[in-house]
Amino acid sequence: MKQATAKVPFFLNDTNMNYLLKGMKIGNLKEVHDEMLFKISNNIYAEREPGYETSEYPDIHDIVVAHSLRYIKGKENNYLEIELVNSLYYSKLREPVIKINGYCEIDDKGYIIITKVTRLTLADKNPISILDI
Protein backbone atom coordinates (compact mmCIF):
# COMPACT_ATOMS: atom_id res chain seq x y z
CA MET A 1 0.00 0.00 0.00
CA LYS A 2 1.38 3.39 -1.00
CA GLN A 3 1.71 5.97 1.78
CA ALA A 4 0.29 9.44 1.19
CA THR A 5 2.58 12.45 1.33
CA ALA A 6 1.85 16.14 1.76
CA LYS A 7 3.75 19.41 1.51
CA VAL A 8 2.95 21.41 4.67
CA PRO A 9 4.04 25.02 5.39
CA PHE A 10 5.53 26.13 8.68
CA PHE A 11 3.34 28.10 11.09
CA LEU A 12 5.99 30.82 11.50
CA ASN A 13 7.83 32.30 8.55
CA ASP A 14 9.70 35.51 7.74
CA THR A 15 6.54 37.36 6.73
CA ASN A 16 4.35 36.66 9.75
CA MET A 17 6.61 36.30 12.80
CA ASN A 18 6.44 39.97 13.86
CA TYR A 19 2.66 39.82 14.02
CA LEU A 20 2.53 36.48 15.83
CA LEU A 21 5.31 37.27 18.31
CA LYS A 22 4.08 40.78 19.24
CA GLY A 23 6.81 42.58 17.30
CA MET A 24 9.64 40.19 18.16
CA LYS A 25 11.57 38.21 15.56
CA ILE A 26 13.26 34.85 15.57
CA GLY A 27 16.89 35.64 14.82
CA ASN A 28 17.91 32.18 13.62
CA LEU A 29 14.84 30.85 11.76
CA LYS A 30 16.94 29.97 8.69
CA GLU A 31 19.34 27.95 10.85
CA VAL A 32 16.41 26.20 12.56
CA HIS A 33 14.93 25.17 9.20
CA ASP A 34 18.26 24.30 7.55
CA GLU A 35 20.04 22.51 10.39
CA MET A 36 17.92 21.73 13.47
CA LEU A 37 14.79 20.04 12.10
CA PHE A 38 16.34 16.66 11.40
CA LYS A 39 18.49 16.49 14.54
CA ILE A 40 15.47 15.08 16.37
CA SER A 41 13.48 12.03 15.29
CA ASN A 42 11.52 12.36 12.07
CA ASN A 43 8.22 11.87 13.95
CA ILE A 44 5.57 14.56 13.71
CA TYR A 45 2.90 14.56 16.40
CA ALA A 46 -0.77 15.50 16.65
CA GLU A 47 -1.57 18.70 18.48
CA ARG A 48 -2.16 18.21 22.20
CA GLU A 49 -5.54 18.84 23.76
CA PRO A 50 -5.99 22.27 25.40
CA GLY A 51 -5.01 22.18 29.06
CA TYR A 52 -2.71 19.18 28.58
CA GLU A 53 0.37 19.99 30.63
CA THR A 54 3.66 18.31 29.97
CA SER A 55 7.08 19.20 28.64
CA GLU A 56 7.76 20.26 25.08
CA TYR A 57 9.30 16.80 24.54
CA PRO A 58 7.17 13.99 23.13
CA ASP A 59 5.77 11.66 25.79
CA ILE A 60 3.79 8.42 25.95
CA HIS A 61 0.47 10.20 25.35
CA ASP A 62 1.54 11.82 22.08
CA ILE A 63 0.27 10.40 18.81
CA VAL A 64 2.57 10.16 15.77
CA VAL A 65 0.61 11.33 12.71
CA ALA A 66 3.41 11.74 10.16
CA HIS A 67 7.12 11.39 9.43
CA SER A 68 9.22 14.18 7.97
CA LEU A 69 10.78 13.36 4.61
CA ARG A 70 12.49 16.53 3.42
CA TYR A 71 12.69 20.28 3.80
CA ILE A 72 11.56 22.41 0.84
CA LYS A 73 12.45 26.09 0.42
CA GLY A 74 9.72 28.21 -1.16
CA LYS A 75 9.35 31.84 -2.18
CA GLU A 76 6.70 32.86 0.36
CA ASN A 77 7.12 30.09 2.92
CA ASN A 78 9.21 27.01 3.58
CA TYR A 79 7.66 23.58 3.70
CA LEU A 80 8.16 20.15 5.13
CA GLU A 81 7.26 17.19 2.95
CA ILE A 82 5.71 14.60 5.22
CA GLU A 83 4.58 11.00 4.94
CA LEU A 84 1.16 10.65 6.55
CA VAL A 85 0.74 7.90 9.12
CA ASN A 86 -2.75 9.06 10.08
CA SER A 87 -4.44 10.50 6.99
CA LEU A 88 -7.77 10.82 8.82
CA TYR A 89 -6.20 13.29 11.29
CA TYR A 90 -4.68 15.25 8.40
CA SER A 91 -7.97 15.36 6.48
CA LYS A 92 -9.72 17.01 9.43
CA LEU A 93 -7.31 19.98 9.47
CA ARG A 94 -8.65 23.04 7.65
CA GLU A 95 -5.25 24.66 7.10
CA PRO A 96 -2.43 22.29 8.14
CA VAL A 97 0.86 23.76 9.37
CA ILE A 98 4.01 22.51 11.09
CA LYS A 99 4.64 24.02 14.52
CA ILE A 100 8.09 23.81 16.09
CA ASN A 101 8.43 23.20 19.83
CA GLY A 102 11.67 23.68 21.71
CA TYR A 103 13.84 25.96 23.79
CA CYS A 104 14.72 29.57 23.10
CA GLU A 105 16.58 32.54 24.55
CA ILE A 106 16.35 36.30 24.05
CA ASP A 107 19.64 37.76 22.84
CA ASP A 108 21.01 41.21 23.67
CA LYS A 109 19.39 42.69 20.53
CA GLY A 110 15.92 41.46 21.57
CA TYR A 111 15.73 38.60 19.06
CA ILE A 112 14.36 35.20 19.97
CA ILE A 113 17.05 32.58 19.38
CA ILE A 114 15.86 28.98 19.17
CA THR A 115 18.51 26.85 20.86
CA LYS A 116 16.98 23.39 20.51
CA VAL A 117 14.09 21.84 18.61
CA THR A 118 12.38 19.10 20.62
CA ARG A 119 9.14 18.29 18.83
CA LEU A 120 7.31 18.96 15.55
CA THR A 121 3.53 19.24 15.60
CA LEU A 122 1.06 18.94 12.72
CA ALA A 123 -1.75 21.31 13.64
CA ASP A 124 -4.44 23.56 12.25
CA LYS A 125 -3.25 27.12 11.60
CA ASN A 126 -6.47 28.57 12.95
CA PRO A 127 -8.23 26.03 15.18
CA ILE A 128 -12.03 26.05 15.21
CA SER A 129 -13.37 28.44 17.77
CA ILE A 130 -16.73 28.46 19.50
CA LEU A 131 -17.81 31.13 16.99
CA ASP A 132 -17.44 28.62 14.12
CA ILE A 133 -20.03 26.25 15.57
Q: 50-67, pLDDT tens digit by residue? A: 666 666 666 667 889 999
Strands 43-46 vs 112-124: parallel, antiparallel or unpaired: parallel
Percent of the chain exceeding pLDDT 90 equals 38
Q: What confidence score (pLDDT) does residue 130 get? A: 47
Give this prediction's pTM.
Answer: 0.83
Q: What confidence score (pLDDT) does residue 57 get? A: 61
Q: 8-23, pLDDT tens digit by residue? A: 999 988 877 776 677 7
User: What ranges do the domains of the chain cover?
Assistant: 5-49+58-128
Residue by residue, DSSP assigns the chain as: -PPPEEEEEBSS-TTTHHHHTTT--BTTHHHIIIIIGGGS-SEEEEPPPTT----SS--TT--EEEEEEEEE--SS--EEEEEES-HHHHHT-SSEEEEEEEEEEE-TTS-EEEEEEEEEEEEESSPPPGGG-
Task: Provide the residue-wise pLDDT of the chain in tens; the chain has 133 residues.
Answer: 567 999 999 998 887 777 667 778 899 988 988 888 888 778 999 987 766 666 666 666 788 999 999 999 888 888 999 999 988 999 999 999 999 988 999 999 888 999 999 889 999 988 765 445 4
